[in-house]
Structures are given as C-alpha cells and as structure tokens.
Structure 1
Amino acid sequence: MPLAACGSGHTAGTINFYTNADSAEIARTASAACNKDAAGKYTVKVHVLPKAADDQRLQLARRLAGNDSGVDLMGLDVVWTAEFANAGWVEPVPDELSAKVQQTTLVGPLASAMWKTDDDLEKRLYAVPAWSNTQLLWYRPDVMQKYLGTTVAPTTWDKMLADTEKIREAGGPSWIMAQGAQYEGLMVWFNSVLVSAGGSVVDPDDASRQTLNDTPEHRAATLKTLQILKSVATAPGHDPSITNSDETAARLGMESGKAAFAINWPFVFASMRSNAAAGDVPFFKEMTAFADLVSGSPSDSELREVNDLVRTRFNFAPYPGVAEGVPAKSTIGGVNIGVASTSEQAGLAFEAAECLTTPASQKIYAINGGNPPVLKSLYDDQDFRAAYPMGDIIGEQLSAGRAATRPASPVYQSISTLVTATLSPVGGWDPESMVDKLADQVQKAIDGKGLIP
C-alpha cells in the first residue's frame, strides 16, 4: 500500500497509526474497539507500512525527518527504541502511564522500550509494549522415542547435536532447523546463544563499546557461540540449505519430516496443527480426522484435545542453553507503540496507545494474530492458555533473567547488517579468528565506519 507524501498534515481527532503489514488486520480490529470506546473523542486510522522491517524503518524515518504532522502513532520494532529516541522522533511516555506500564509488563518487553538519551537523567520509557515474542525449541517426540528411547527434549545445544547424531546414525531425520540466512534471523540466533553463554555484543551500560572480545570471559563466550553455530551448520546430516534458511524454511523442514529439532517462533505450532489437519504433513496423517474442527471455531476444550494430539508428534521445550543447568536466554521480538514527536495531538495519541495495549487489545494480538502478550496477567487467561499450550514457557522466557534483548544501540541496524554479513555463510569460517573479526565489525558500526543500511 503506497504511503502519502511527507508533510501530509493531520486532521484533529484522527489518530494516524502506522504499523507493519503483517499486523495490519489485528491492528484494525483492536483500533475498531478503541474507537467505539472513545465515543467520538478520537478515531484511530490504521496505515500500512511495507512488509520488510528495513523498509518500515525507512518510511517512518523519512516522514519524521520531514516533520510530518500526520504521523501520530507508530508500531516500532523492538530494536528501534534507541535510534528513534536519540533522533528525537518519539515522545517519552508520560510518567503516569509509564508507571502503570512498568507495573504490569513483563521485564523483557519492558526493557526493549526503554532508553536513556543524553538529555535524560536515567533510562525512561519511550514506547508502550504491545506484543512480544520468543523462540522455543521444537522437536519430534515420536522420533526421539523411536531412536533414543526418551521424549525428554535436550536442554543444551551440545546435547541436541549429540542426540541428532544418534538419530542420524540409526537412520532417522537429522536436520536441526535454524535461521542461517543473511538477515535478521541470523542476528537473533547469534545473539540468543551469545547472551546464553554469558556474552553480549555491546556494553548494556555504554553502547559505544563492543564487548565481544574486550575481556577473556567475553572472548570465551563469543568463541563458544561461534563453535555452536558452526557445529549446527556443518554437522553430519545437517540441513543442506541452512545458509539460506529463514523462519518459513525452518517450519517447512519440520513439517516435511526431515528434521528432528528446530528453533522457531510459536507460530509454527498453529501451522503444524492446520497443515497436518489438511493432510500436508506426511508423518501425521491421523490429524486429518480433525480437519473440520481445526478449520472451524473449536471450543477451548476441543482445542486443548487437538493440541494434546499435536504434541505427540510436534512438541516444544525451552530454548536450548549453552551450559548444563544454566537456563538459556532467548532473544525477544515484538512491537512497541510510540507517539511521534511530529504529532500535534500527542495527548490523544497516548490515550489511544493506552487503549491499544489493554488486556482486551493484547488478547486480539495474541489469539487472532499469533503475537504473545506483554502483560503478566494474560498468561493466566483461559482463552490465551487454550490457544497457547506453550504459554508458560513463553512467559518465563520473557521474564527477568530469561529474556535477551538485541544490542541496545542507536546504530543497531548497522551492527546487525555487519554481523550477519560477516557470519555469512554461516559456519564457513574458523571460530577462533572470527571472534576478532566480528568485534572489529561491531566497533566499526558503532564508530560510524561500517555499512549504513
């Protein structure tokens, strides 16, 4: 959908909400409910940004740099907070609303919306978290039982690799699906393993410093991370297309029956359920008996019954760790809603943002759109629990000590671009020498000497 030119102006009472294409329909559904509740005080109008995240960011940046007063609300990728706050493009959340959000929101999503500019005394909230996401380990319990004599999922990458090799030697499916293509998915994979290993890309308290090799401990964490990525990408019987694999390819690898394990977002569970019911999953033909139920509007109890069946062939577990007994940290995704600094009706825009992030709105995003909520309270909601049998794990991984955010930096896009370019093709390098090469690229991005996307 083409966007109007910058400087298009605004209409009093109309709150223009720019959001990504994938979430446009659920944004419209939530906005319609908010407009009804507003009783004429304001009307939220949804505008669709491009599908690709880089294009979304560019569209918004051009509008904001052009002082477009027609932008009121923005669906911000969780990695944009620092850049938009430093540029003065997004309004800080008012204290009263900020306090409420901080009391009710899970720690991981909350951290993604906070930043400290040079003018701030301390970190503050620059957007209101709307929904979040976290990757899980997906696995075939039937395959594990047949070849390993257990259905207990591995808790570390090393154990997963060992299990997969045993399955391969016995003639079973041997792929481990991950996002190895040169794009943001590879950055998410690298960051999750790195933070789980005790490392980080930049200093969380000083975004001007890279921390991949600045201490012996950080170097060891980076090296272990690279060794894991290389092992997955080059293991005997690995996915031959892993260097081009994204979330969809990883999903299809599991549904085709060629993989025993996969790292992916929660959307794959509903996909397995519906595709198996349609007869498109070769190892799960018994699901076709539930085709009408799955394509209809099952009750919560019916959905739970079907989900239990799905889990006999396709189950989930927490994100794999690096060291035995040390829980992993999984990189979060999601969207935060910010009020544009160019808006001439910021007060109304914040009222709309608050409505668009209520429990009712977040249930729309979760159940209709497949985007897990950020509110702690919703993880006990019965409708949510019926739709998300993996909800407890998601909630845990979005909590303190388990959620990993991507490097908080105003030049995050450059960091990500250079890291993924340096790591590609994934596994086609020596981990020892790659540590310093990666560190050098990240520092170049920080210093403004790297590739600017």
Structure 2
Amino acid sequence: MDGPWRGSRTRRVRTLSLLTAAVVATPVLAACGGGESGGNIINLYGAPEQNFQKVVDRCNQQAAGKYQIVWNKLPREADGQREQQVRRLAAEDDEMDIVYLDSPWLAEFAEAGWLLEWTGQNKAEAEADVLAGPLESTRYKGKTYAATKNTNVQLLWYRDDVVSTPPKTWGEMISQAQQLKAEGKPHTAVLTGAQYEGLVVHYNTLVASLGGKIISDDGTRAVVDEGAVKALQLLKDFATSGIASASLTNSKEDGVRLEFEKGNAAFQLNWPFVYPAMQKGNPELAKKFKWARFPGATADQPSRVTIGGANWGVSRYTRKPELAFAATLCLRSPENQLFSALNDGVPPTIDSVYDRPEMLEEYPFKETIREELRDASNRPMTPAWQNVASVMSLILSPPSAIDPEKTAARLRTEVQEALDSKGVMP
C-alpha cells in the first residue's frame, strides 16, 4: 500500500535551514538508532516489513563473507522514515550505506547530493527487466540514482453481481453508478478524497491520462495546462455526481477498503492490499469482488496510473560504495522480489517475476498490474514535492468546490511558490 503523507505547508523551509538544523541535531542522531561499523558491514535503512529480514539473511549468505548487511528499521510512518534519513544524510553520516526511498523522494535526495549515481555494470544490472513505470522512478535529470525495491499501482475494484461490464472511463463509472442508484442497487464509488496525498495521486493520474502536465519536465515551473484543467473538471464531476461516498472528504486508503466491505459500494479505486483484506473482512462479498484496469479519463486513451512503491539508493557518504552497490543488487534480485511479493504483499518491479507460477495464487490480478505498470505515471520529479503535495492537497479539497479555471489559476500560483521555496521539510 502506498503510505499516506501528512506534511504541512507551514513546515516548509529552505535547504540551508534544514542543513543547519541537521548539523545542530547531530549529537542526538544516536537516539534514532545507529548503524554498526566494521570492514564489511553494510548498514541498510529500511521501512518495517514483516519478512524482509529473510531477504537480508539470504543476501548475507550468498555474499559468503564479502559483506554483511545490517537492517536498521525506520519508523512505520513515511514522515518519520524520511526525517530520520534526512537528518543523517545532512549530517554526512558515513555509517549509512543503503538508503530507503519512497518513490516521490528521489528528486529531493538526488538534488541535495545525498545519493551516488548508478553507472556501468551496476546500472545495467539494476535496470535489467524493470517495467517502464518503476524504472522511471529511479531517474532524475537523466541519471539513475536508485535500484527498484518494489512498486504499487491502483486498480478498479467492483462487484460483478451488480456491474456486468467494468467501466473504462471515469464518465462510464459515474453513469453506471447513477443507473445502479436509480435501480436501488449498491452503487457508491469510493476513493481517497481526504485532504492528503491520496487525493493528489488521483489528480495526477487524471492529468497524466489526459496527456497534461502539472509541473514542467525540469521540475522548476508550475504548468497546470489544459489537460490539468480537464482533470479538475473530472474530479468535480465525480464529487458532485451523487454517487460519491458521503465520507469522500475524510476517506483514506483503509477507510475506503472498509466502506466497500460493508456492501453498499459498487466501485472502489484502491491499491491491491484490498484483495486479501476482502477475503478476511467479508468472505461472502469476496466471491463477487473483481478487478479491472483503472478507468481512463477518455475513451480513446487508457489510464496512466500513478505508481507507489520504493527504491534503494546508495549514500554519497558511504565508505564502502562497491559493497553497498553489490548488496543492493542482491536485495533487488528477481528471487528476492518474488519472495517479498508473496510474503509481504509488495508487487515486484521486474517484468519476468510476473510470469512465475507462484504469483498467480497471491496475485490473480497480476496481468492487470503489469499492464498498468508498462505505461504508468510518476508523481512530478521535483525536489520540492513534499511542499507541492501539501499545497495541492489543500487546493483540491474538497473536490466538490473545484472551479476548474479558478482552481487551475490558484494551482499555478501556489505550486510555483512551493517550487521556488526549494526547501526540504525537516
């Protein structure tokens, strides 16, 4: 599941301020948990994951003494994960070797100079057989700064006892839901509409699906072009159609899942974690629970869904770069991605892993995931994404209040201000 982001616009600061604060905070870094040292110790910082230690153990065994990975667990919340790593990197901690990167963080960390570039054979191995969407999330300004760990992508989930043919567009979804409502059947469409990054992700998907842009390719200029304006209209149409959940403006991922499990909704836009959860939460409804490609913005163009997931970077300050790159390549191997997909529910980034027969039982929707990943979209690559996402979530909420042209104008102004701050959040 792509974790929610809870930043505040008022917390924006300039990079210089962060670096100063981080240096001042250096004496307390040990309180966050420190890495081990030693000739072949590779300190990996990673988010909690139930079975990930087995991946680490496997790599250590295969290394046969060449290196020994030590997994330093980060906090469970994304903000805490980012904060702990930012403080260490800003303080040039040379006992931090492998960095955990939620997919939107890459530009920020690379621009700050905290990541080593992947080149040569290391780059070739890291990029081998990686699907297009996840691969793009490892690149910034034409250079590769990470190896993919896992990915994630949202699907359209629906009840096949009330929906005979899944909608291919948002317009079709709205029309079908309105017809079901008129017939007195389960009809609600549920998605993440609270004022946080989940709403921004839906907007970004619509913009990308329409061929639009929110921010220029170089990450410096707010564009909010015609496609972005049309995407605003679609969000408003959905929110005012009479088929959105009454709790739309409070809905986050797990709340959306739970609401669908109650049986009143016909459609759900959410991450794949909802499938195993449905088997436990409502086994009877699970028999009618099906999936399809995320709906597009128009009939003549498939959706370009915003991916989630995480990557591995190598710290610029590591004293053992060769060992860190080698260890990271082991962590991202097809075998280890398959293990994590089956045991921790994190979809792989490597194309051939989806062909493994073991995938079918846990991921009966694997071909739909793979199809979306081949032409997925990423959140705009900008070092100021934390600031931008905070501004956008504020402006887009509530979706029912969107006035496409006026909202677009406000986005251009305030997103540009967020970009110009050039700040990273402490």
Q: How far is 1:325 from its partner?
A: 2.6
Q: Is 1:141 matched with 2:147?
A: no
Q: How far is 1:375 from its partner?
A: 0.7
How many residues align structurally? 398
Give 2:333's aligned residue.
Answer: 358
Which deviates more, 185-194 or 44-53?
44-53
Unaligned runs of 5+ in 2: 1-27
Give 1:245's aligned residue.
Answer: 251
Give 1:99's aligned residue.
Answer: 124
Q: Is 1:208 matched with 2:206?
A: no
State the one-letter code of the partner of 1:396. E
2:147 to 98, 104, 128: 128
How is 1:33-432 mapped onto 2 (pairs within 5 angstroms)?
33-116=58-141, 123-144=142-163, 151-204=164-217, 206-212=218-224, 218-219=225-226, 221-277=227-283, 284=285, 310=286, 312-399=287-374, 402-432=375-405
- Inter-partner Cα distance in structure 1 for 2:29 and 2:262: 39
Normalised to the residue count of structure 1, the TM-score between the two structures is 0.84
Deviations 1:41-61 (A, max 9, x none): 222111121222222111111
Q: Is 1:439 matched with 2:412?
A: yes
**RMSD of Structure 2 on Structure 1 (CA):** 1.9
- Inter-partner Cα distance in structure 1 for 2:365 and 2:30: 41
- Inter-partner Cα distance in structure 2 for 1:29 and 1:315: 32
- Inter-partner Cα distance in structure 2 for 1:450 and 1:322: 33
Query: Do the aligned residues in 1 keep the contact of 2:149 with 2:348 (CA within 8 Å)?
Result: yes
1:4 to 20, 30, 41: 30
Normalised to the residue count of structure 2, the TM-score between the two structures is 0.89
Deviations 1:331-371 (A, max 9, x none): 00111011111211111111110000111110122111111
- Inter-partner Cα distance in structure 2 for 1:159 and 1:343: 52
Q: How far is 1:174 from its partner?
A: 2.5
Q: How far is 1:9 from its partner?
A: 6.9
Cα distance change, pair 3–176 in 1 and its aligned pair in 2 (3 A): farther
SS state at 1:239 partner? coil
Give 1:287's aligned residue.
Answer: none
Percent identity between matched residues is 38
State the one-letter code of the partner of 2:380. P
Q: How far is 1:428 from its partner?
A: 2.3
Q: How far is 1:104 from its partner?
A: 1.5
- Inter-partner Cα distance in structure 2 for 1:450 and 1:172: 49
Q: How far is 1:432 from its partner?
A: 2.6
1:20 to 40, 47, 68: 47
The structure whose RCO (Cα within 8 Å, separation 6+) is larger is: 2
Query: Do the aligned residues in 2 keep the contact of 1:29 with 1:364 (CA within 8 Å)?
Result: no
State the one-letter code of the partner of 1:390. F
Q: How far is 1:449 from its partner?
A: 8.0
State the one-letter code of the partner of 2:123. S
Query: Do the aligned residues in 1 keep the contact of 2:383 with 2:422 (CA within 8 Å)?
Result: no
SS state at 1:321 partner? coil
Q: How far is 1:88 from its partner?
A: 1.0
- Inter-partner Cα distance in structure 2 for 1:367 and 1:8: 29
- Inter-partner Cα distance in structure 2 for 1:54 and 1:355: 27
SS state at 2:44 partner? strand
Query: Do the aligned residues in 1 keep the contact of 2:154 with 2:269 (CA within 8 Å)?
Result: yes
